[in-house]
Amino acid sequence: MTTNPELTAKAAAFAALHTPASPLPLANAWDVASARLVEAGGAPAVATTSAGVAWSLGAPDGDALARDRALDLIARVVAAVSVPVTADIEGGFGADPAGVAETVAGVLAAGAVGINIEDGNRAPAEHAERLAAARAAADAAGVPLYINARIDTFLFGLGDPATRLDETLARAAAYLRAGASGIFVPGVTDPATVAELAKGIDAPLNILVGPGAPSVAELGALGVSRVSLGSWVAEAAYAVVRRATEELLAGGTYASLAHSVPYGELNELLKG
């Protein structure tokens, strides 16, 4: 086993940010400029959004982006900020557990100290093997990588709604046994269900939020340790592109650009 004291310390610091007393708020970035803006806003960590990254590189979300392009982007973001970085690696950018292990080795080489990895439509047992491979790769590198195991039962509406909560809790337990550090359950924000998830999962719980979701403080009171905006920020940024274009072409006006980040401020931010 090799060791990397700097990454080890950063990984430990990142893991310590996960607490219901003060949930970790993540405004997910997708390139160097957005990561710098997130850090400049006072964020204690930077998380990437796989959808935003893929879109910015001309690919759709959903395991379509080539691994080397994803790793290159992660390395660029890590080099641009001083806070810990956690990378969304979709399903692991690998056809099998060995492929996931190769991805994780690349993530660590890029300097990130956390990953999101999703189960999607994979069988839970298969995904557990992928998580175990990710943990083994991190152990081999001597880094306590924070593995955020995403469970897509609610997001994709998998299985019987009557037993979806129990299925999610069963997957969470299996994924934690396989080496996950925390559990991410997107697609659910109603307080009763979130509270049951937090109660039934023996690890930090991450919830995906957006317009209409409870506040960070409210989710913390329910037991949530991490709150992510996911692709919402990238979607909002691209919405500005569409509104500005439509306004320019239809009316010849520019009001949709009134709240942009000033040129000088953004340019200065990227000089460092």
Please check whether residue 104 is in contact with residue 115, taking contact to mean a CB–CB distance below 8 angstroms.
yes
Please tell me the predicted confidence (pLDDT) of residue 53. Answer: 97
What is the predicted pLDDT for the residue at 1? 56
Confidence (pLDDT) at 4: 82
Question: Closest Cα partner for 103 from 54, 137, 56?
Answer: 137
Contact 89, 63 (CB under 8 A): no
Where are the extended beta strands (E) located within the chain? 24-26, 46-47, 85-88, 114-118, 146-150, 182-184, 205-208, 226-228
Ranges of the chain with pLDDT below 50 = none
CATH architecture of 5-230: Alpha-Beta Barrel (3.20)
pLDDT given at position 2: 62
